[in-house]
Structure 1
């Protein structure tokens, strides 16, 4: 069987024989959505909504979730805990009016996001704290006493 190949601008070869790309039904479906329908799968469904960047880190006593969300107020956030699922969301509508000499221009906007995190059982749910300062939402998730790392110790031999 003769295989067709195309040379891209960067010099790499691309296989044009699509029959070799679909060894199984699932790979054919993946290829269909990833390569053949980019207009549908890459459309602007999220227009007006962005997900904030998140840093998650751990110390011996706690887990931390830091989210970069500038331009908000602490009242704009909702933080909920339900069955060890932490949900952080925000909804904010923006209205701006500009008066010119002959007309008035009004702009409306709406921003929202929701992030959820599955918490480990080692989190002490009653002691979770959150703060918002300089555009960073910080959530501290203290560990239960039995889950905290113990300091190393030397065991003597008898």
Structure 2
């Protein structure tokens, strides 16, 4: 017997079989599907200073060699493709499982970004990318005298 969540208070938008949608809701809202089938991408913070744009991508547990960063046309692409093999030579395995994870994040650079002035560093689980601004895009500040 399978238990199915049923919510009688939920509106069913005129469905002829009100419990029918609840069956699919209980299946696809299950933690198994949430954990295994949902693509996870790292969170990103984007900020700006006078001279640079800053992208910070939270990706703990990786090495800097795992990242591939490229600029194609006006799009900055950050990708990771990681395959871990469970290798223990002391045991005879009747089953071995591999872990594979990958993601791609793409960002369109503004026209004011200098494609030649991009630097990246990975420390403490955070990938930091600094994108220089073009000289003409930098904010001009000066004091205006009142007469």
What's the TM-score once normalised by structure 1's chain length? 0.67
Deviation at 1:98, TM superposition (A): 3.5
**Partner in structure 2 of residue 149 of structure 1:** 139
1:42-121 residue pairs with structure 2 within 5 A? 47=37, 49-98=39-88, 103-104=92-93, 106-121=96-111
Runs of 5+ in structure 2 lacking a partner?
1-6, 15-21
Alpha-carbon separation, structure 2, partners of 1:46 and 1:145 = 46
Equivalent residue pairs, number: 131
Alpha-carbon separation, structure 2, partners of 1:106 and 1:45 = 20
Which secondary structure does the structure 2 equivalent of 1:75 belong to? helix
CA RMSD of aligned residues (A): 3.2
Runs of 5+ in structure 1 lacking a partner?
1-7, 9-13, 20-34
Which secondary structure does the structure 1 equivalent of 2:120 belong to? strand
Of the structure 1 ranges 114-123 and 46-55, higher mean CA displacement relative to structure 2 is found in: 46-55
Alpha-carbon separation, structure 2, partners of 1:121 and 1:134 = 31
What's the TM-score once normalised by structure 2's chain length? 0.72
Specify the structure having the higher radius of gyration (Cα).
1
